[in-house]
Amino acid sequence: MNGLDKPQKKLNIAMVCDPITDYIAGVFKSTTRFSENLRDRGHKIIFIAAKSPFSQENNCYSGMKVYRFRSVLLPKTESRFRLALPTVAEVKEVLKKENINIAHILLPTPLAFIAAKAAKVLGIKIIMHSHSQPENLFLHIPKFAGREIMNNLYKKYLVNLYMRADALVYPSEFAQKFFPTLNAKIYNKVISNGVDTSVFKKMDAEKLFVKWNLPRETKNILFVGRLHPEKNIEILIKSAPLILKKYPQTHFYIVGPGHQKDWLKSLAKKLKLEKNLTFFGKVTDEELVMSYNASDIFVLPSLAELEGMVVLEAMACGLPIIIADSENNAAKHFVDNNGFLFRSGNPIDLAEKIIAILADNSLREQMGSESLKISKQFEINQSVLKMENLYYFALSQ
C-alpha cells in the first residue's frame, strides 16, 4: 500500500452492522470506536442496521446517521440482537443517496449478503471484517450432537460470504490463520481492534467505590464480558472458594450482561460466594474504566476470542492478566511477562495463578507495568490509520 501517505479525499463509509447501539459485545464497541475516529478524521459515516423496540426509526448515533430496517430477533441475546432484513433495493437506495464509497460489513448475517449484493451492483468497494468464529455459536452444543459438523458448515458459510469482499480485515493473526485458502484469493490485512489509551488508563476509582458501596480493603479480581457459554465464567466462580481459603479478603467483580446471569448467580450462591462476588451487569463507559482501576487482577477464562478487546482495556489500565490457554482463544497471545496462562477449564490451576499474583505485590506491580507497556502497541489511532489506508487501497484497485 505504498503511496497512500499523500493527501486523499475524504470518504463516505457505510458501516453494515445489524444491532449497532442496541447490543453489547466487542464487535459493536469496536465498530462504534472505529466509526467515531474515522468521523473525527473527516470521513462521513453512516450505519445500516436493524429496527428494534429500542430503536424503531432511523436515528443518529454520535452525530452519525443510522438507517434501520425490519428485523427478527436472534434468540439468547437478551432480546437485543436483531437481524435486519431489508431488500437489496432498499439498501441500494441508501448507498446511492449517501454517495457511499466503501461498504464495511462487520457481521456474517443475512444483511451482509444483502448489502454486499447492493454494493456490488453499484460498483462500491466491499470490506468485510472477521468478527465471528463457530465457537461463538455452537460451543454449548455437545460433540455427540454434531458440533464439529456445524463448525465446518459455518466456516464454509463464512468463506462463501468473504469471497464477495474486495478486502478482508482480521483483528489478529490468530483469526487470520483460519482461512489460508481464502487469504490466497482475497487481499487481507490484520488490524487490531485497538484500545483508546486516552480513555482506558490508570485513574482514581474512589468514585466507583462510593457509588457501588464497595469495600476498599479487599483484593479485587475482575471479569468483563458477556455472560455467555463461550466466556466460561463458571471456571472463575469455581476457583473463588479455593482463593478465599488462602485470601479471605478477596472480592470478585463480574461486569457485563448475558443470558447466563441467573445460572451463574445460582452457582455463586451454591458455593456461598454472595459476600465475595458481585454481578454488576451492564455498566456505563465511565464505570467500565473505573472497574478496571478498582481491580488488582483481570481474568478472561474464555474458550473463544478472535482478539479480546477487554484484555487490551485491562492492560491499558495497568492490570496483570490471567488468560485461559484455550485452543480458540486469541487473547492468550497478550500474555508476555504481564500475567499467566492457565489450563482452560481448570479452576484449580486458575486459583493457583491468581494466588501467585496476590501473594507477591512486587510481581503484581511488575506485571501491571508490563501490561501498560504492551498496550501502547495497540493504540487505536494506529488501527484507524491502517483501516483508512486499507479503504484507499481497495479504492485504488
The residues, any chain, with a CB within 8 Å of residue 285's CB and separated by 6 or more, are 199
Please report the pLDDT score of residue 183 as a whole number: 94
- Helix, strand, coil percent content, the chain, rounded in steps of 5: 45, 20, 35
Q: Which residue has the cell 499474583?
A: 357
CB 47 within 8 A of CB 66: yes
Q: Which three cell numbers stand for residue 277?
A: 462476588
Q: Where do the CATH 3.40.50.2000 domains begin and end in the chain? A: 12-194+379-396, 206-378
Please report the pLDDT score of residue 3 as a whole number: 44
Please report the pLDDT score of residue 222 as a whole number: 98
pTM of the model: 0.90
Euclidean distance between CA atoms 372 and 256, whole angstroms: 23
For every residue of 88-118, DSSP letters joined together read HHHHHHHHHHTT-SEEEE-S-SHHHHHHHHH
CB 89 within 8 A of CB 122: no
Going by CATH, does the domain composed of 12-194+379-396 fall within 3.40.50.970? no
CA torsion sign, 15 to 16 to 22 to 27? Answer: negative
Q: Which three cell numbers stand for residue 27?
A: 464487535
Phi, psi at residue 102, to the nearest 5°? Answer: -130, 130
Phi, psi at residue 15, to the nearest 5°? Answer: -90, 115
Which H helix or E strand runs over 189?
A: strand 188-190
- Decide the pairing of beta strands 82-84 and 71-73: antiparallel
CB 250 within 8 A of CB 219: yes
Kindly tell me the burial class for residue 395, based on how many C-beta atoms sit within 10 Å of its own C-beta (0-12, 13-18, 19 or more). middle
Radius of gyration of the chain (CA): 21
Q: Which three cell numbers stand for residue 176?
A: 487470520
DSSP code, position 74: P
Euclidean distance between CA atoms 29 and 32, whole angstroms: 5
Say which amino acid occupies 360.
D
Q: What is the mean pLDDT of each run of 10 residues along the chain (397 residues)?
A: 64 92 73 95 96 82 93 73 93 98 96 98 97 67 73 86 97 92 96 96 91 90 93 97 97 93 96 96 92 97 93 98 95 97 97 98 98 97 97 96
Going by CATH, does the domain composed of 206-378 fall within 3.40.50.720? no
CB 315 within 8 A of CB 321: yes
Kindly tell me the burial class for residue 217, based on how many C-beta atoms sit within 10 Å of its own C-beta (0-12, 13-18, 19 or more). exposed
For every residue of 209-256, DSSP letters joined together read HHHTT--SSSEEEEEES--SGGG-HHHHHHHHHHHHHH-SSEEEEEE-
